[in-house]
Amino acid sequence: MARVCQITGKKRMIGNNVSHSKRRTKREFAPNLKTKRFWYEEEQRFVTLKVSAAGIRNINKNGLAASLKAAKAKGLIDII
C-alpha cells in the first residue's frame, strides 16, 4: 500500500500545473504521509502505520483502538 493513509484512506490526486500563459501540464498532489509507531495499549505492543497528518490528529482525538477498528471496517488495514 504505497502513498495511502492507513487511517483516513487519503491518496494522491492528479491535477494541473498552470503557468502564467495558462499552459497546463499534469502534476500530482501527494498526501502528507509519515511512517509512525503507535503504542497499542490493548495488546501491549507498538503498531507501525503509514498515516497522514490528518490521520495522526484523528488518532489523537478518537484513540488508537477506535481508529484501527474504523480503518479495518473500511478495509484500509488488516492488523487487528
Q: Which residue from 46, 41, 35 is spatially nearest to 2, judged by alpha carbons?
A: 35
pLDDT band for position 2 (cuts 50, 70, 90): confident
Q: Hey, what domains does the chain have and what are their CATH numbers?
A: 13-74 (2.30.170.40)
pTM comes to 0.84
pLDDT of 52 reads: 97
